[in-house]
Amino acid sequence: MSGAASGEATSDEAASDEAASGPMSRVVVVGASAAGLAAVETLRREGYEGAISLVGDEPHAPYDRPPLSKQILSGEWNPKRLPLRPYADLDALGLDLRLGAAATGLDTADRTVLLADGERVAYDGLIVATGVRPRRLPGEGPQHVLRTVDDALALRHRLGAGRRLAVVGAGFLGAEAAAVAAGLGARVTLIEPAPVPLAHAVGAEVGDVLSRAHLEHGVDLRTGVAVAEVTEGGVRLADGTLIEAEDVLVAIGSHPNTEWLADSGLTVGDGLVCDAYCAAGPGVYGAGDVARWYNPLFGTEMRIEHRTHAAEQGMAAARNLLHPGEGKPFAPVPYFWSDQYDMRIQAYGYLRGHDEVAVVEGELARRRFVAVYRTGDRVTGVLAVGMPPKAIRRWRQSIATGSTWEETVPAAESA
């Protein structure tokens, strides 16, 4: 990355930035979840001693979301286990912590964030980490969603033996919730508009074997079914059929929370549009679920809604905000996991839009395998179920180094 000449050039640029605007003394991070927390911790770790405001619309201190559709929904965990940091650690960061405070506007000329209560918070540097909110269905009937701890507890209290739950959307979130509800003895109908669940994310072959687990656990999986609306009695399908249920969970994806940026002059299009350095405008960076950025490792724009990604991008955005002249492109290998029934699914890379899938270890049908993904001539993804960590980590390495399919996969298949 270095070289004396470019090193000098970048530090000159940084020096002139500083001369023009003075040193940064007020950072505002909007969004108090995994990405926002990682950003504020990184600012402090990197030695920034100025003011930091951490603004979050929920009333809770930063907490973890993956357990919501797992241990919280099952009742295995008390919600007291959710906070991402003990209070003392949060306190030690010396934050101006504003919880229950939604950001409603951004004035980039004046460098101020407008809050719902009318207050204006000035910044030199801003990190946007406002996340996403669940999409909903039309209809008058009550809809559960699963994004916040309050959502999870509300659904948890409704589940139990013999209760009927309809889950719309058999993506990872819907599948996890269906698995937990079935485990609690609920009668679950899982409704998926696509012919094969998860096919767009992991391919039809893998999606098909994963979804068979639902059938084995007594979940009534209905695929290729269009949904019209949620009614008082359940879910009305496009053909008029009513799937009766006491409760309906809608898990059909999310909207990035960017409305508050509408008049900011920043570019918004399925997320806050950022460059390879996570920069969205002068002194403004994006991180987490809300940020769409150019990932140079895959040569494409992406927006990633994974837990690990939120922390990684929060860290990268904070570093690049502090050191703009020597910023590093953010080129991660995305990672996610999902727990369904007795399966632990883990994946690295960018699987969407792949051209080919090859099983290089184990057996699909036994749901114990490693599948690798090709896009163009590169290895771009790996997904494993029930395999030891080392079996998947070497493939992560192939993805990170941009290995070609030709040089990596035939050797593994014949081994």
Partner 1 sequence: MRVELDEPKCVAAGQCVMASPEVFDQRDDDGVAILLEEHPDESLLDGVREAVAICPAAALRLVEQ
Q: Is residue 361 part of the contact set for partner 1 (CB under 8 A)?
A: no
What is the footprint of partner 1 within residues 332-351 (CB under 8 A)? 335, 337, 344, 346
Residue placing its CB nearer to partner 1 in the complex, 66 or 256: 66
Of the candidate spans 19-27, 154-162, 371-379, 387-395, the one that interacts with partner 1 by CB under 8 A turns out to be 387-395
CA 260 to chain centre: 20
Residue placing its CB nearer to partner 1 in the complex, 255 or 368: 368
CA 97 to chain centre: 23
Of the candidate spans 16-24, 78-86, 126-134, 160-168, the one that interacts with partner 1 by CB under 8 A turns out to be 78-86
Residue placing its CB nearer to partner 1 in the complex, 281 or 288: 288
Which own/partner contact pairs does 70-74 have at CB distance under 8 Å and 24+ positions apart?
70/176, 70/180, 70/339, 72/149, 72/152, 72/153, 72/156, 73/146, 73/152, 73/155, 73/156, 73/159, 73/176, 73/177, 73/180, 73/181, 74/180, 74/183, 74/184
What is the smallest separation between the CB atom of 66 and partner 1, expressed in angstroms?
A: 7
What is the smallest separation between the CB atom of 93 and partner 1, expressed in angstroms?
A: 12
**Helix 204-216 to helix 172-183 angle, to the nearest 10 degrees?**
20
Q: Is residue 60 part of the contact set for partner 1 (CB under 8 A)?
A: no
User: In terms of Cα–Cα distance, which of 379, 323, 368 is closest to 342?
Assistant: 368
What is the footprint of partner 1 within residues 215-274 (CB under 8 A)? none
What is the footprint of partner 1 within residues 88-107 (CB under 8 A)? 89
Amino acid identity, residue 70? K
Q: Is residue 85 part of the contact set for partner 1 (CB under 8 A)?
A: yes
**Rounded CA gap, 14 and 223, in Å?**
55
Radius of gyration of the chain (CA): 23
Q: Is residue 394 part of the contact set for partner 1 (CB under 8 A)?
A: no
| Residues 193 and 354 sit within 8 Å (Cβ to Cβ) | no
**Rounded CA gap, 128 and 39, in Å?**
10
Of the candidate spans 183-191, 205-213, 310-318, 319-327, the one that interacts with partner 1 by CB under 8 A turns out to be 310-318
Residue from 81, 328, 366, 394 touching partner 1 (CB under 8 A): that is 81
Of the candidate spans 25-33, 36-44, 214-222, 294-302, the one that interacts with partner 1 by CB under 8 A turns out to be 36-44
Of the candidate spans 79-87, 158-166, 261-269, 323-331, the one that interacts with partner 1 by CB under 8 A turns out to be 79-87
| Residues 203 and 354 sit within 8 Å (Cβ to Cβ) | yes
Residue placing its CB nearer to partner 1 in the complex, 247 or 312: 312
User: In terms of Cα–Cα distance, which of 392, 16, 363, 341 is closest to 206?
Assistant: 363
Instruction: Give the DSSP letter string of 116-146.
Output: TTS-EEE-SEEEE---EEE---SSSS--B--
Amino acid identity, residue 409? V
How far separated are the first and last CA of the chain, in Å rounded?
Answer: 36
What is the footprint of partner 1 within residues 160-219 (CB under 8 A)? none
Q: Is residue 45 part of the contact set for partner 1 (CB under 8 A)?
A: yes
Q: Is residue 38 part of the contact set for partner 1 (CB under 8 A)?
A: yes
Of the candidate spans 129-137, 247-255, 372-380, 385-393, the one that interacts with partner 1 by CB under 8 A turns out to be 385-393
Residue from 24, 27, 33, 41 touching partner 1 (CB under 8 A): that is 41
Of the candidate spans 20-28, 47-55, 76-84, 246-254, the one that interacts with partner 1 by CB under 8 A turns out to be 76-84
What is the smallest separation between the CB atom of 385 and partner 1, expressed in angstroms?
A: 12
Residue from 176, 192, 305, 312 touching partner 1 (CB under 8 A): that is 312
Residue from 365, 388, 414, 415 touching partner 1 (CB under 8 A): that is 388
User: In terms of Cα–Cα distance, which of 3, 124, 132, 128 is closest to 65?
Assistant: 132
Q: Is the dihedral of CA 271, 276, 281, 283 positive or negative?
A: positive
| Residues 343 and 210 sit within 8 Å (Cβ to Cβ) | yes
Give contact residues for partner 1 (rule: CB under 8 A).
38, 41-42, 45, 64, 66, 81, 83-86, 89, 307-308, 311-312, 315, 335, 337, 344, 346, 388-390, 393, 396
